[in-house]
Structure 1
Amino acid sequence: MKDLIKKGFALSLGLVLLSREQVEKSVTQLVNKGEVPASEAKELVNELIEKGEEQQRLLEDKIREQIKKLLIEINIASKEDLQQLEQRLQKLEQRD
Structure 2
Amino acid sequence: MSDLFKKAISLGWGLTMVSKEKVEKVVDELVNRGELAPDESKALVNRLIERGEEEQSQFKSVINDQVKKILHEINVPTTSDVTNLEQRIAVLEQRISELEAPQAVQEAPQVE
Give the TM bin, normalised by the shorter chain: 0.7 to 0.9
Q: Any conservation in 1 of the 2:15–2:53 contact (CA below 8 Å)?
A: no
Other-structure match for 1:67: 67
**Count of paired positions:** 96
Q: Could you tell me which amino acid in structure 1 is paired with residue 74 of structure 2?
A: I
Cα distance in 1 for partners of 2:5, 2:83 equals 48
Relative contact order higher in (CA < 8 Å, ≥ 6 apart): 1
2:56 is the alignment partner of 1:56: yes
- Please report the RMSD computed on the Cα atoms of aligned residues, expressed in angstroms: 1.9
Cα distance in 2 for partners of 1:56, 1:24 equals 18
Q: Any conservation in 2 of the 1:9–1:51 contact (CA below 8 Å)?
A: no
Q: Could you tell me which amino acid in structure 2 is paired with residue 45 of structure 1?
A: V
Structure 1 unaligned spans of 5+:
none
TM-score by length of 1: 0.88
Larger radius of gyration: 2
Structure 2 unaligned spans of 5+:
98-112
User: What pairs with 1:16-95 in structure 2 (closer than 5 Å)?
Assistant: 16-95=16-95
TM-score by length of 2: 0.76
